[in-house]
């Protein structure tokens, strides 16, 4: 009888563990050769800039220098893509779907400002800190 109770408890623990594992959604990731590790694109907790995305946008608004000498208006979109590592540092920054050699002066300015940002709160997958790919679009509409 003792063995039967022990076996039922053991089976119950195994089933409970499998059920709790099934509830945790797998985080999406890919292998990044430059980081030499997996980088996540979808996680339970996304990386967070100190003070939120509003502070992140304000940081750029106060530091990016726009050159409007050649035109009356400056409009467009700059989409930064970067990795927030497990320590909260920004790494492998670039412009979304663009090679570095094709970046405009404005895009280079945004990348320069990105290197001066504060440390982020790292992203988490299943409670563990993981490197996360982050995409941040900026809309520009300046007039003289």
Residue 1's pLDDT is 46
* pTM score, whole prediction: 0.76
Q: With cut-offs at 50, 70 and 90, classify the pLDDT of residue 126.
A: very high
In a domain, 47, yes or no: yes
Q: Return the number of other C-beta atoms located less than 10 Å from residue 136's C-beta.
A: 17
The alpha carbon torsion through 90, 44, 129, 41 (nearest 10 deg) reads: -40
Q: How many domains does the chain have?
A: 1
At 48 the three-state DSSP class reads strand
Mean pLDDT of 119-128: 96
In a domain, 7, yes or no: no
In a domain, 14, yes or no: no
In a domain, 123, yes or no: yes
CB 119 within 8 A of CB 88: yes
In a domain, 18, yes or no: no
Give me the chain's average pLDDT, please. Answer: 83
* More confident of the two residues 135 and 10: 135
Give CA 49 to chain center in angstroms.
10
Q: Which domain holds residue 56?
A: 25-143
Residue 5's pLDDT is 44
Q: Rounded distance, CA 126 to CA 135, Å?
A: 21
In a domain, 46, yes or no: yes
In a domain, 124, yes or no: yes
In a domain, 65, yes or no: yes
Residue 35's pLDDT is 87
> Taking phi first (over 0 means left), then psi (-120 to 50 degrees means alpha), and beta for anything else, what does residue 73 get?
beta
Q: Rounded distance, CA 103 to CA 109, Å?
A: 10
């Amino acid at each position: 009888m003792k063995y039967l109770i022990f076996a039922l408890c053991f089976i119950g623990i195994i089933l409970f563990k499998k059920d709790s594992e099934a509830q945790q959604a797998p985080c999406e990731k890919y292998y990044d050769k430059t980081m030499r590790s997996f980088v996540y694109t979808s996680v339970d907790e996304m990386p967070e800039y100190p003070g939120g995305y509003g502070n992140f946008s304000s940081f750029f608004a106060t530091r990016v220098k726009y050159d409007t000498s050649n035109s009356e208006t400056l409009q467009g979109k700059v989409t930064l893509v970067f990795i927030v590592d497990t320590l909260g540092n920004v790494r492998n920054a670039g412009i979304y779907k663009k090679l570095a050699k094709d970046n405009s002066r404005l895009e280079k300015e945004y990348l320069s400002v990105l290197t001066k940002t504060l440390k982020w709160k790292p992203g988490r997958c299943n409670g563990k800190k993981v490197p996360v790919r982050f995409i941040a679009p900026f809309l520009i509409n300046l007039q003289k």
